[in-house]
């Protein structure tokens, strides 16, 4: 199996963070804030006396970003996505996580995962990532505990069984 090559890492090392993985400073004053749009971490000022100004800039950035992307909030009104507003406990898993997949037996072990996390109270949803961390945003599937996966194959059966068990 050949993994996709990640690009943009510092020094070409795929284990090193990319520039966009590092904390991003908020530009001061009336500077253009659209450079924050792809930031993963927005750094807060070290000095607490600068926090109010920083928060105002974040509010300005949020408002400007909403305008740039034409945000309306309509997705929150979709009936098929209403379950997401009741999700408070979410498991983020790599599809081949050793708590979910037994490499020796080449099978998914949903019971092992559910039992390992039983003390947490269960999940409202589980997000399975097939090739995290290389392309997390493009390769995830999220399904509520009250719905069933349409994924085919053993991963789909494991998913369906996991969701059934976690919704008990």
pLDDT in tens, 92-113: 888 777 778 888 888 888 887 7
Q: How confident is the model at residue 161 (pLDDT cuts 50, 70, 90)?
A: very low
Q: How far is CA 152 from CA 12, 52, 107, 142, 160, in A?
A: 36, 51, 15, 15, 10
**Rounded to two decimals, what is the model's pTM?**
0.52
Query: Is the pLDDT score of 71 beyond 90?
Result: yes
- Structural contact between residues 148 and 132, judged by C-beta atoms closer than 8 angstroms: no
Q: Output 133 or 70, whichever has higher pLDDT.
A: 70
In whole angstroms, give the CA distance from residue 7 to residue 11. Answer: 10
Query: Is the pLDDT score of 89 beyond 60?
Result: yes
Residue 73 DSSP symbol: -
Whole-number pLDDT of residue 5: 53
């Amino acid at each position: 199996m050949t993994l996709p090559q990640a690009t943009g890492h510092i020094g070409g090392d795929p284990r090193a963070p990319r520039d966009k993985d590092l904390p991003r400073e908020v530009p001061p004053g009336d500077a253009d804030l659209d450079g924050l749009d792809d930031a993963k971490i927005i750094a807060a000022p070290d000095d607490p006396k600068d926090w109010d100004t920083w928060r105002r800039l974040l509010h300005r950035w949020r408002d400007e970003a909403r305008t740039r992307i034409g945000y309306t909030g309509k997705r929150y009104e979709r009936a098929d996505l209403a379950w997401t507003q009741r999700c408070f406990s979410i498991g983020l898993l790599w599809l081949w996580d050793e708590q979910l997949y037994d490499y020796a037996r080449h099978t998914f072990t949903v019971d092992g995962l559910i039992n390992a996390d039983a003390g947490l109270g269960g999940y409202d949803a589980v997000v399975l990532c097939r090739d995290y961390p290389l392309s997390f945003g493009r390769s995830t599937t999220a399904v509520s505990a009250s719905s069933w996966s349409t994924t085919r194959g053993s991963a789909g059966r494991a998913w369906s069984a996991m969701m059934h068990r976690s919704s008990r």
